[in-house]
Structure 1
Amino acid sequence: MNVRRLIPTTAVAGAVTLGLITLSACSGTSDAADKGSGDKLDVVASFYPMQFLAEQIGGTYVTVNTLTKPGVEPHDLELKPKQVGELGDADVVLYLKGIQPAVDDAIAQSNAGTTIDAATLTKLEEHGTEVGHDHGAEEAGHDHGSEAGADPHIWLDPVKYGEVAQGVGAAFEKADPTHAAAYKANTQALMTKLAALNSEFENGLKNTATKTFITTHSAFGYLAERYGLEQEGITGIDPEAEPSPARVKELQEIAKKDKVSTVFFETLASDRTAKTLATDTGLKTDVLDPLEGITDKSKGDDYIEVMRSNLAALQKALGAK
């Protein structure tokens, strides 16, 4: 697939403009000039999806420290004083506002040189769980949002993730102009990978027996919208929330009506609710990874590999032809 088809020119221009607006005024010319001495750009990433971008785009010219260690549920992260201090010492802090309150608060109080909020680099939408909706009358990808605030899980859509990558690349170029050409080339290489991944999802989910999938929490709204699927979250955006009896009953009805075969759970949160629902409805269970962190339980070593594993799981559950 041509990368230009993946990210429209106007979207890229807007994303880059927004991204550069979030750069702190502290990242002045003197800081950029210091990077010409051969020192690596010191980047602090809030959690794995930001870490992956920093490593892919920065390559050998950056050192990346991640606030959320493997196996930690990002939504519940609490920072240690040492980690808060790292924010102030970093050349660049790359985060996604709205998913980790502790990180948002710490960044607001820090003296970080350059801050990049990935949420400003693409358009956020609302996705959630709405009890009592007319499921049959909805179009694929319809917004179920009943919770306040936008859905932050933009990285699960390769297209939106690519828009963020473009903005991060432009910000790295500004923060470290000495290595701007390398950042630009690395960004283009990542865009090529994301374009290929998008094409695999498009082709792999084009013809399926059903378009509906049930998952523990509503992390896959952007993915569902991109590929014409219908996400039904047991809970809303919060992975620790408990479903109401009315929601459980509705999901049982949806599973029967839409010929759902599988209830998905994830690697970093409890699978108890998913397995209970599956048992009650006679469905199978499988993993659909929201890619909030990579552990030894992950079905892949990086973002691309785990997303391909997610594609295979969806194809199996949806009856891809």
Structure 2
Amino acid sequence: MKKWIPAISALTMAVFAVSLTGCGQKKAEEAAKPAVSGAASGKLQIEASFYPMYEFASQVAGDLADVHLLIPASVEPHDWEPTPQDIGKIEQADVLVYNGAGMEGWVEQILASSNSGKLSAVEASKGLELMEGADDHEHAGEAHDHHDDAEANKDGHEHHDEAGAHKEEHDHEHDHDHDHNHGGLDPHVWLSPKLAIQEVRNIEAALIAKAPEHKDQFTKNANAYAAKLEQLDEDYRKALENTKRKDFITQHAAFGYLAKTYGLSQVPIAGLSPEQEPSASAMTGVVKFAKEHQVKTIFFETLVSSQVAETIAKEIGAKTDVLNPLEGLTEEDQANHLDYIAVMRKNLEALKAALNE
């Protein structure tokens, strides 16, 4: 994700002044609302990195800000790189909302070189307890026997998902260096409704600090959205606490926080990046696990190819289904006016079905 950084300073220095004065408006490819042109509205101008950050910021800001989406909702954000025009939009904004935890590898460099005197940046995951990410799953199958631990320990909130449990194995068994793509941390905190609430609260605090005259409205908006997320969290807890099984196989290791929150065990085919190709031994390990535990559904995701998941499903005679990591919205999602909560409810139904097969 950082392969472009050596070039950014040279490229940016060459076009930066131009991008600040005339970067122009690109056609919006946003998830829920079109981008509103700039400071002419007189509102707070917010740039949000990718879809969940856009949704959370929009909910807190309400009609007090224009919230723009930097990474188009139909684009997989792990590999996205900002253009000089994108950098210009960030410089012109009042607030930049990003997830952090290594998800947006470009943020640190942009903020370090920013000359904006008004830009405030909020790392929505700041203060959350982050997990170490799964490695390249050379030993995928071996670590997944934590299924038995999940079955034996059903208190609902104290489980270690595969990514967390595998960390201990990783520490003791693997001395070689793995490329985690996110600095070793799992950034996918937004997929746990409980943690999403904390991200919303961090955004609320940042907007209040930026525009304290609107404190009451920001708090009212945040409270209303947090109540919806609390209901979502409760629905997840009730639906998943007594399922027949506790493990699920997914395309990449995005669901560690969701698994930990609700006492499940994710079995990812690949690591933190959906574009990461699993090794042959990782594929073999997942197939072995799936057969031994009679897994009947292999989850794939939107925005990336489902070929690997389909290959494993065919090998074991299972079906495939979507488990959406909400890193963006597909054109179909947008056409159906889906949002974070709606997609998370679809994820819940898919999980509930698979875990009760």
TM-score range normalised by the length of the shorter chain: 0.7 to 0.9
Match of 2:325, SS? Answer: coil
Q: Counterparts of 1:106 and 1:41 in 2: how far apart (Å)?
A: 20
Return the offset for 1:50. 0.6
Contact kept in structure 2, 1:218 and 1:231, CA below 8 Å: yes
- Partner of 2:352 in structure 1? 315
Alignment of 1:207-218 (within 5 A): 207-218=242-253
Residue 48 of structure 2: aligned partner: 45
TM score, norm. by length of structure 1: 0.84
User: Shift of the alpha carbon at 1:108?
Assistant: 2.9
Question: Aligned AA for 2:160?
Answer: G
- Output the CA distance in 2 between the equivalents of 1:307 and 1:192: 15
Give identity over the alignment, percent: 39
Answer yes or no: is the 8 Å Cα contact 2:144–2:289 preserved in 1.
Answer: no
| 2:4 aligned residue | none
3-state DSSP class of the match of 1:286?
strand
Change (3 A) 1:158 1:134: closer
> Partner residue of 1:11?
none
Match of 2:104 in 1: 100
State the partner residue of 2:122. Answer: 116
Residue 216 of structure 1 aligns to a residue whose secondary structure is strand
Give, in angstroms, the shift of residue 301 of structure 1.
Answer: 0.9
The 2-side partners of 1:104 and 1:74 are apart by 16
Q: Is the 8 A contact 1:264 1:274 kept in 2?
A: yes
- The CA deviation at 1:134 is 6.3
* Cα distance per residue 1:53-85 (max 9 Å; x no partner): 110000000101111012111011121111101
- Is 1:82 matched up with 2:85? yes
Gaps of at least 5 residues in structure 1 are 1-37
Q: Please tell me whether residue 141 in structure 1 is matched to residue 160 in structure 2.
A: yes
Pair 48,134 (structure 1): closer, same or farther in 2 beyond 3 Å? closer
Distance in 1 (alpha carbons) for counterparts of 2:49 and 2:108: 9
Structure 2-normalised TM-score? Answer: 0.76
1:55 aligns with 2:58: yes
Could you give the per-residue CA deviations for residues 16-52 of structure 1, whole angstroms, max 9, x where no partner exists?
xxxxxxxxxxxxxxxxxxxxxx931100000011101
Instruction: Give me the whole-angstrom Cα distance separating, in 2, the residues matched to 1:192 and 1:99.
Output: 26
Q: Give the Cα separation in 2 of the matches to 1:124 and 1:118.
A: 12
Task: Provide the residue aligned with 1:162 in structure 2.
Answer: 197
CA distance in 1 between partners of 2:232 and 2:70 (Å)? 27
1:125 aligns with 2:131: yes
Other-structure match for 2:296:
261
How far is the alpha carbon of 1:294 from its aligned partner?
1.5
Matches of 1:251 and 1:293 in 2, distance apart?
Answer: 26
Paired AA for residue 273 in structure 1: V
Deviation at 1:138, TM superposition (A): 4.2
